Amino acid sequence: MSGQEMQWQVDGLTLRGLAWGPEDGHPVLALHGWLDNALSFEMLAGHLPQCRIVALDLTGHGRSAWRSADATYQIWDDVPQIAGVLAELGWERFTMMGHSRGAVVATLTAAALADRVHGLILLDWMLPPPMADAQVVPQFRKFLADRTKRTPRTFGSAEAYIERRVQNGNTRAVAETIARRGLGRADGARRLLGDPRLYGASALKLSIGQIEAFLDALSMPAIWFSCRKGQGKQAWADDLQSRARARLARFEVVELDGHHHAHMETETAARIAMHLADFWRGSTD
């Protein structure tokens, strides 16, 4: 299902993405995971024909611009640019949907724009594990050291890139889909379009108190699709889900068979869409 190419100018950067569905459909802003791109939502969009799904290539990913040399790729850095895209779209009320790192950014965005977010859809993640105070300085040092790692990753062929992703746990279908928008050509090889600074360590991570504050700010219904072969860190996922249930007026967890990118598989995407139909029926403006 081919998406409509989209483009926006935000903060002096060109952001690109894809859109599916009727322009007057239920508005959904979709954020992909780390090193993925807007095609992450191609399969799911086909099962949600009543929605206007706009999926971004987040800055530094896919066909969107890289940030300037002095900028960073912290999870909160995406939020002002997302707000800029929303302003260009003219959406006053919308649903946020995110996968993995994109689910984290979607959660931060939903907390910041809670009065405008109709619902929050989380695909195999929500917020990262908290960091102990004793780890703050070592983490910051690692972030500083990683800032010099800026060599683009290249592969001899698209097949070599696909095989690398398969070795890292993706199915071939998922890897091929991501490759379609994630690779460019360079001197006869294939270059990963993502900014190599995305591989660097985060400067800081949220404390448990800060995580709870973000949860407290989520006034909208939320649903977390948790994959049994997913992101890992199951102890933290269980803890976070428990904290979310205690703080959100409506919070659902749906267990899915499959891997971290299960929303990109036909059968699982259909199941997610079925649950979302019930989820939206139970949501009110």
* Whole-Å CA distances, 34 to 73, 197, 279: 11, 12, 26
| Alpha helix (H) residue ranges in 23-147 | 42-46, 78-89, 101-112, 136-146
Instruction: Check residue 231 and give its pLDDT.
Output: 64
Longest dimension (CA), the chain: 54
Instruction: Give the whole-angstrom CA distance, residue 118 versus residue 120.
Output: 7
How many residues appear in the chain?
Answer: 285
- Contact between 180 and 211 under an 8 Å Cβ cutoff? The reply is no
Copy the structure tokens of residue 251.
């919070």
Supply the pLDDT for residue 284: 53
Q: Which segments of the chain have a pLDDT < 70?
A: 1, 231-232, 283-285
> What is the pLDDT at residue 94?
98
pLDDT at 178: 96
279 in Cβ contact with 120 (< 8 Å): no
**The two three-digit tokens of residue 241, written as one number:** 């889900």
Report the pLDDT value the prediction gives residue 151, as an integer from 0 to 100.
83
Q: Map 162-178 to HEC letters.
A: HHHHHHCCCCHHHHHHH
Fold classification of 4-130+207-281 is Rossmann fold (3.40.50)
Complete DSSP assignment for 3-14: PEEEEEEETTEE
- The predicted-structure confidence for 78-117, as pLDDT tens digits, reads as follows 999 999 999 999 999 999 999 999 999 999 999 999 999 9
Domains in the chain: boundaries: 4-130+207-281
Q: What is the 8-class DSSP label of residue 39?
A: G
Active-site option among 100, 207, 242, 283? 100
Q: Tokens for 268?
A: 């699982």
Phi and psi at residue 230, in whole multiples of 5°?
-95, -135
| Among 160, 158, 154, residue whose Cα is nearest residue 179 | 158
100 is catalytic: yes
